[in-house]
C-alpha cells in the first residue's frame, strides 16, 4: 500500500449550509489549502477517517449529529489528537463556545467573520508553533471574531 504525502494541508469543511460550505472551501482553496467538504455528521466522520485531514473546520449546528458530538468522536478515534478542529459557528453565547472547546475543538471562531481572520486562524492552528492540544476538561478559553 502506498501512502500519498502532501505538503499542502487538507482542510475538511463541515457545514450543512451548501452555499456557506462551498464559499469557505473556495476561500481556503484560494489561500493555498486543499479542501474536502461534508454536509452531515456521518459524512464528516467518514471523510475524516478516509482522508485524514490536517484540520476540520466544523459548524456546530448540524442536523442529526451536532458539531460537539462530531468533535468528541473525532478525538476518540486513533490519531484524533493529531487533527486540529476549528469550530466556525453562529453561536455567540459563551456556554456553547466553551462546550465546543471541552468537546475537543482547538479553537472557536464566530460567524460572520472576516475572511482573512479565518485564513489566519487556520494557518495558526496548522503552524508548527501551534500549542499542543490540552485536555478538554482544562478548556475554558473562547476566542471570537
pLDDT means per 10 residues, the chain with 145 residues, are 65 96 97 97 95 95 92 88 91 84 93 93 81 46 46
Q: Give the model's pLDDT for residue 93.
A: 79
Residue carrying C-alpha cell 451536532 = 66
Residue 82 belongs to a domain: yes
Residue span of the structural domain in which 102 resides: 40-52+73-127
Q: Give the model's pLDDT for residue 31.
A: 97
Residue 104 belongs to a domain: yes
Q: Give the model's pLDDT for residue 131.
A: 47
Q: Give the model's pLDDT for residue 97.
A: 87
Residue 78 belongs to a domain: yes
Number of domains making up the chain: 1
Residue 58 belongs to a domain: no
Amino acid at each position: 500500500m502506498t501512502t500519498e504525502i502532501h505538503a499542502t494541508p487538507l482542510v475538511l469543511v463541515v457545514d450543512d449550509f451548501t452555499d456557506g460550505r462551498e464559499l469557505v472551501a473556495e476561500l481556503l482553496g484560494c489561500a493555498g489549502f486543499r479542501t474536502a467538504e461534508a454536509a452531515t455528521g456521518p459524512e464528516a466522520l467518514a471523510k475524516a477517517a478516509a482522508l485524514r485531514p490536517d484540520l476540520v473546520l466544523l459548524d456546530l449546528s448540524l442536523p442529526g449529529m451536532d458539531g460537539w458530538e462530531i468533535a468528541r468522536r473525532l478525538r476518540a478515534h486513533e490519531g484524533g489528537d493529531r487533527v486540529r478542529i476549528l469550530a466556525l459557528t453562529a453561536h455567540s453565547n459563551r456556554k456553547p463556545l466553551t462546550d465546543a472547546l471541552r468537546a475537543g475543538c482547538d479553537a472557536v471562531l464566530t460567524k460572520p467573520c472576516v475572511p482573512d481572520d479565518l485564513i489566519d486562524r487556520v494557518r495558526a492552528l496548522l503552524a508548527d508553533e501551534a500549542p499542543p492540544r490540552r485536555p478538554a476538561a482544562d478548556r475554558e478559553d473562547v476566542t471570537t471574531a
